[in-house]
Chains A and B, each alone.
Chain A
Amino acid sequence: MLSLTRFAEAVVGALLGVGAMWVVAHAALATAGGAMPPPATIPNAVAGDDDATMKQHAVDVVDYTMSAVLDRPLHVVHATGTIVWRNTSSNAVRELWFHLYLNAFKNERTVFLRAPVASGRGTTTVADWGYIDVTKLVARELDGVDLWPGADKTSPGDPDDQTDIRVPLPREIRPGETLTLDAAWDAKLPGIIERTGFSDDFHMVAQWFPKLAKLEHNGQWRHFPFYHLTEFYADFGTYDVTLDVPSGMVVGATGQRLSFASEKGRDVMRYRQTDVHDFAWTAWSSFREKSARVEGVDIRALYPPGYEAIADREIATVSFALRYFGEQYGRYPYPVLTLVHPPEAAGEAGGMEYPTLITCGGAWYDPRFAHDVEAITIHEFGHQYFYGLVASDEQSFPVLDEGINSFAEANSLTAMLGQGSAIDVLGLQVSVETVLRLGSTRAAHNEPVAQAAQAFASGGDYGALVYGRTATILDTLCRVYGRDRFMATLGRYTRRYRFEHPTLEQFIGVIREGLGDGAAKNLEIALSERGWVDYAVVNAVSKRDDAPAGIFDRNGKRETIVRGASEASTWRGWALVMRHGTLRFPVDVELWSEDGTLQIAHWDSAEDWIRIPYEGSSELARVIVDPAVNVTLDENLFNNGFRVSAAVSPRRTLERATYFAELGLQGLLP
């Protein structure tokens, strides 16, 4: 009877256990959702390639003087302004092109919102529509005619999009001629999406004014609709902006604040910055503020209540970055840098760059051992160079800003934090380079890296290739051709093209100057032709250098030599190393003898394979190609090694896996 009761208890207990787990599982589902080396010397330097001779200012092409009044309840910016534009091209122009980026959030048929991008930033449902209504565009030099009524109503060839607008001119504007445009517009901010918008009282006001497209030297306008994955491109100039916001709102903006006045419940302030190509600002009643002064730059951090520790980390990161980037890529030329940490609900506004203003990201509780906060901050700061100062076309060549900047991010974070630049906890050190390589490998063969942002098949490919793959390609060049040489080359690029708009060819040209034709060719193939490489040690053998055995007819005599009759003290053999793929990097090959002796062979990878001879006092034991993992582009690192002798046991792995399992069992076993 007793045993029957016990049995019944067991059955009921098991059923209750299963039931409890079901309850927990469904409850969980229901609630889900809720100090640095000096630069090396490289040949072929020209004026402008060093700190002493690099440009101090940009060519002033377009100046914006704007006044903006924030209607907080309606989340509308009422604005007026004067745009002074100079035709610095070699040809006359008969039209202007304006980017009205906020119209991307006007309805679900815009180029941006109908793009087949499945996930990531910009794919959240638009909580409130955003748009920009231009009401006036008067050209003073053209008899005060209002150009806007004659402007095209939609983007070229797309009746549903209004982000890329052509404005015909009544007469041509000759090279060197200036056009002064008086404009008025209302910018309705969307619910926070893709870098801009509002969330409750928080306002991130970006891409909020009619922005003139960039006129290239040949007189062609570089204009484009606001594609989902595309960023921006514009000419340098001076921005002088007066902001009028309800009193009590804390404001951060591009440039230096020149004045502040408070009257009738409104705060009015003026910001001005020369040598920039955009202007963004933010206003929020709840911002807290910290400041610091580093390298002559006034750093100002704006952050939500409770984020004090995160703000300290962000300031510490840009303090390091100002010095490091200054040494590597030229001094940061502006007197101010504003860090904006949006509140959690406005996370889409985080992780973005504007001249002298960056938005950061991360939760207030992000642990110090995981360096997400530092990574986002230094990445966005890096854009002050790769986008801000070296103002390449982000739409046509995202590789030149996001790609190079991802390398700069990883490189600087490693300089700052060491091998645990991504995660550093209890002996586990993961570098940002590893993370970027891991993320990019899966997409390496999908499509070229160097293509326009909107040409990518998916947001995943864009992220993996533009950010991760480019960073890994440049990391490989850095390791293979020497860190000092590479950094000096990249530094030449950033100095020569400071306040310029370089192309991909110009970047590759500087790589050719600094690292040689081989490096430049590798870079070209890797970026434009899905270049790849996989080194492998296919086989390795050695045997005693005994006299050959067999029957030999020599000098009219037949001689039979028995195998092993004499035991030579020398071992001879070879290692067969192969290179698969289209990239060719010089690599070292290590041949280890059984007695621990090391021979190093250097292979330039000119051929597809090489048989490396071995000679030693003991048997060849192990062979490894690229032992330092300089070629981080290598598709499979585990075929880089070859063990002649029997494989050793994975004792360390077994020990660690067993330990973790034991700890797990401590928690799971009753």
Chain B
Amino acid sequence: MSSRLGVVMTVYAMHALLALGFAWPISRLVADVILVHPRGDLVLFEPGATYLAEVFRLQRPSLTSVAEGSVLAVLVVSYLGLAPLAALLQSLAHAGRITFASLVAAAGRYFGTFSLLLGLALVAAALVGVLPITMGNLVDDKLKLVLGDRNHDIAHASFRAIALLAAALVAVVHDLARAAAVQHELHAARAVLVAARVFRASPWRALGAWGFRGAAGIALVVAIAWVTSRIGVHTGVRFTTVTLLHQAVVLTLVALRASWLSSALGLVSLPLYQLPSER
């Protein structure tokens, strides 16, 4: 991983630029109403949220338009994000010096395969996710009178948790398939087979590696939110500190993702899990 710090930094920089692109129109809309205020946008962070609510009230139509307009852009960006992901996996899969040209080539080479894998994963997630939710809704009313409010809600939430867990399993296998595709230069179908075999052989190792990093990321975001809420943004130093902490969080999240992908590459590299025809 340490040898790929440059690639991780590049991915982080890309995310930051994209995020800036989405944030810019929103901040400009907000700026239109708040910057005449002598305290500038500091008022948005005051306790009670009087001005924050005022911004949303006065700029709601524009903010809504921007948000709606961003949906398509987010979808496109999410899809095109497959290319840098392929490049990241390529860099993680190969030791030694790696050139920019080879990363670009890998991005192009695996974009199609990753697209198919994404499509398959979305279908699989929809199927395994919708099924328990639908089942939960079918038995919903029948359970209500028997169980009481709390137990009923817990039962209902359980079906949703099962759906989420199933979708998480799909996500893990999906990443394993991506890793296999890059590690062994496989097409989508064979990559899925390898991923399924790897997951079947060591599900807890795969889930543990994925889940630990996911949980660590969420915990970090919440912890830093708590810390920054106490620091505040009312002086330049505090604002800079908060900015740096936030960017450190994002960088860590990118690193955690890369770390997981690196683990996935390791899992699919074990000879035990290769397909019979490839031994």
Contact = CB atoms under 8 A, between A and B. Distances in A.
B64 to A, nearest CB: 15
Contact of B50 (A17, A21, A286, A434): A434
A637 B112 contact: no
A637 B19 contact: no
A643 B35 contact: yes
Given A6-B111, A307-B150, A437-B53, A650 B48 contact: no
Contact of B19 (A6, A621, A622, A658): A658
B36 A642 contact: yes
A636 interface: yes
Interface string B20-46: 101110111011011111111110110
A344 B149 contact: yes
B45 A433 contact: no
B233 A652 contact: yes
Interface string A408-451: 00000000001110000011111101110110010000000000
A551 interface: no
Given A13-B117, A13-B120, A669 B41 contact: no
B48 A431 contact: yes
Contact of B49 (A286, A429, A642): A429
Interface string B31-75: 101111111111011011111111111100000000000000010
Nearest to A6: B112
A8 interface: yes
Contacts of A653: 26-27, 30-31, 34, 41, 44
A643 B38 CA distance: 6
Given A27-B133, A426-B229, A655 B246 contact: yes
A296 B225 CA distance: 43
B248 to A, nearest CB: 11
Contact of A638 (B34, B48, B111): B34
A397 to B, nearest CB: 29
B114 interface: yes
Nearest to A286: B148
A632 B122 CA distance: 49
Contacts of A200: 145
Interface in A516-565: none
B115 interface: yes
A655 B118 contact: no
Given A427-B228, A650-B34, A670 B122 contact: no
Nearest to B185: A2
A670 B22 contact: no
Nearest to B26: A657
A367 interface: no
Interface centre among A6, A306, A622 (most CB of B within 10 A): A6
A524 to B, nearest CB: 26
Contact of B250 (A11, A363, A640, A663): A663
Contacts of A639: 36
B47 A429 contact: yes
Interface centre among A364, A433, A654 (most CB of B within 10 A): A654
Given A433-B48, A637-B51, A305 B148 contact: yes
Interface in A52-105: none
Contact of B119 (A14, A426, A429): A14
Interface string A316-341: 00000000000000000000000000
A622 B54 CA distance: 20
B197 interface: no
A659 B48 contact: no
B184 to A, nearest CB: 14
Contacts of B225: 426-427
A650 B41 contact: yes
B15 A669 contact: yes
Given A304-B149, A650-B27, A655-B239, A428 B187 contact: no
Contacts of A568: none
Nearest to B133: A31
Contacts of A654: 20, 23-24, 27
A624 B266 CA distance: 62
Contacts, number: 272
A426 B228 CA distance: 8
B56 to A, nearest CB: 8
A666 interface: yes
Interface stretch (B2-10, B77-85, B270-278): B77-85
A420 to B, nearest CB: 7
Interface string B199-236: 00000000000000000010001100110111011000
A34 interface: yes
B149 A27 contact: no
Contacts of B187: 5-6, 9
B150 A13 contact: no
A46 interface: no
A292 interface: no
A6 to B, nearest CB: 3
B226 A652 contact: no
A658 B16 contact: yes
A652 B24 contact: no
Interface in A158-205: 200
Contacts of A364: 149-150, 153
B185 to A, nearest CB: 10
A253 interface: no
Contact of A12 (B16, B53, B119, B153): B119
A47 interface: no
Contacts of A665: 15, 18-19, 77
B112 A8 contact: yes
A433 B45 CA distance: 16
A307 B113 contact: no
Interface string B121-159: 011011101100110110010001100111101000000
B116 interface: yes
A15 interface: yes
B119 to A, nearest CB: 3
A13 B85 CA distance: 16
A15 B81 CA distance: 17
A658 B20 contact: yes
Nearest to B31: A650
B26 to A, nearest CB: 5
A417 to B, nearest CB: 11
B47 A14 contact: no
Given A13-B117, A653-B41, A34 B150 contact: no
Contacts of A636: 54, 58
B50 A13 contact: no
Contacts of A437: 50, 53
Interface in B89-121: 109-120
B176 interface: no
B188 interface: yes
Contact of A428 (B49, B112, B130): B49
Nearest to A632: B50
Interface string A12-35: 111111011101100100110010
Interface of A: 5-17, 19-21, 23-24, 27, 30-31, 34, 200, 286, 304-307, 343-345, 363-365, 418-420, 426-431, 433-435, 437-438, 441, 590, 592, 621-624, 629, 632, 636-643, 647-655, 657-666, 668-670
Given A304-B149, A670-B81, 12 more contacts: A10-B111, A10-B115, A16-B118, A23-B123, A343-B149, A427-B228, A434-B48, A435-B53, A592-B38, A624-B37, A650-B40, A659-B246
Interface of B: 15-16, 18-20, 22-24, 26-28, 30-31, 33-42, 44-45, 47-58, 74, 77-79, 81-82, 85, 109-120, 122-123, 125-127, 129-130, 133-134, 136-137, 140, 144-145, 148-151, 153, 187-188, 217, 221-222, 225-226, 228-230, 232-233, 239, 242-243, 246-247, 249-250, 253-254, 257
25 contacts: A6-B111, A12-B116, A13-B119, A19-B123, A27-B130, A34-B140, A343-B148, A364-B149, A427-B225, A427-B226, A429-B47, A431-B48, A438-B53, A637-B54, A638-B51, A638-B55, A641-B38, A643-B37, A652-B44, A652-B233, A653-B27, A653-B44, A655-B242, A657-B26, A669-B81
